[in-house]
Amino acid sequence: MKRVFILKGLDCPNCSAKIEKEVGALPGVESSVVNLMQQTLTVQSEKSADATLAEQVEMIVHSHEPDVEVSEKTEPAVTKVYLLKGLDCPNCSAKIEKEVGELDGVTSSTVNLMNQTLTVQAGTSVAASLLDTVTTIVHSHEPDVEVSEKQPEATAEAHDTSGRGCCGLCNRYGIDRVRKAADSSRTGISDRGVCDPWLGCRVASSEKHHQRTGI
């Protein structure tokens, strides 16, 4: 797993080399590279080293440069849900959950056998290409399971009722009902879902129109 630490204030080439070497010698660490110009330390490590790595890096850095501020560079995490159609084996589910959870950049992996879903939390840089890897892992245990990414549910179109002459009927009666009334008179709400005064929004301005259309 790749992790990047910011070493704010590091400016000593000799200390940088020592930090790089000592971090690289930690158990579970595969590589350690200091970029003195960017003041960063990039560490590639096994999952087993994750729990104590940050603490160990800070101790090593401060043993050479006590005034350097050490922090880990993080990226936003996103949640991906995969549909595993046909998955019905508890043993295989546990293996899939474990193997996906061990992937670089993945922070959590949970299989729900009843719903036939796999929920994964991962960094944004990893999440975009995760489907192919998840499919490979699933098919190594259950070749006939169909793997697909669950798409976010569509949300109702937002309607801007802030200012611009909106009558507030959208909030009172619901946007669909107001749209229907507006469409029946060929006036009213624009394509952007905003009550447009310059279009002569009769839904917003004419009480007679409200009464005539029944809203």
pLDDT tens sequence across 24-46: 999 989 999 999 999 999 998 88
Contact (CB, 8 A) for 73 and 54: no
Per-residue pLDDT band for 114 (boundaries 50, 70, 90) equals: very high
How far apart CA 215 and CA 197 sit, in angstroms, is 19
Angle between helices 13-24 and 50-64 (to 10 degrees): 150
- Model pLDDT, residue 188: 45
Per-residue pLDDT band for 189 (boundaries 50, 70, 90) equals: very low
- Tell me the per-residue pLDDT of 120-169, one tens digit each, with 9 for 90 and over: 998 887 888 899 999 999 999 999 999 999 987 654 444 454 544 455 55
CA 152 to chain centre: 12
Per-residue pLDDT band for 51 (boundaries 50, 70, 90) equals: confident
Cβ-count burial of 136 within 10 angstroms (0-12 exposed, 13-18 middle, 19+ buried)?
A: exposed
How far apart CA 173 and CA 178 sit, in angstroms, is 7
CA 14 to chain centre: 39
Four-residue CA torsion sign, 128, 132, 134, 137: negative
